[in-house]
Structure 1
Amino acid sequence: MKRLILTGLVVLLFVLLAAPTALSYWEERQLTFDGDWNHQLDNNLNWSADCRWIAYDTRAFSGGIGNTLTLEKVNIVSQEVVTIYNASNPDPTSGFGPGTAAVSYFPAEDMVIAIR
């Protein structure tokens, strides 16, 4: 019985000492700071195959995909932002279109696909 209690206390001590270190590794932090547009994640495959980049579209606060002209990716370590695609030929009468959004990475390659 004493051995069981001692083992339990050792395990508890280990968990209490290791938990702050493990939790600090998973802190949430902001990667992008440009507030002029959204950073919209699609619902799947936002991470690159090497897990270093997150791809997103810069969907406007209103107007949806029709006025989204840029796809970007951000490096989770350096916070470098790279424009992946910039749609050309917005409609000169309204400034909208052709629109591009819902960017997703290929599972095993450094390539993306998106709605256009």
Structure 2
Amino acid sequence: MHDDDRTRDQLPSFRKVDPGSRAYTMDEVRKHATKDDAWIVVHNKVYNITDFILHHPGWKHGGQASTIQSILGGLGRDCTDDFVAIHSPNAWRQLPDYYIGDLIQDSTAPAGG
């Protein structure tokens, strides 16, 4: 039992991941931008939130359209700024459960983007 407020449906599938064992490019992360295959990047860490997304507060029971659009808009990209601005300490405690690897910094990408 977790000491947070997630329901059973919100818990990750608990696939074994060796921290730091995988590394992904932003091109790979961008391929996972749907509610059925949902990855995000927060502070250069990649998270597979597919198991959680449909149970995210505000999604169920006709949640606010702006909440749903905000969630969908963050998929497949670095949403660090949004995550930091919006989420509670409880959300931060839950995030490591969805960690799948690190983001590879593309040395050919222009600074800041």
TM-score (norm 1): 0.23
Greater relative CO (CA pairs within 8 A, separation 6+): 2
Question: Rg bigger for which structure?
Answer: 1
TM-score (norm 2): 0.23
More strand by share: 1
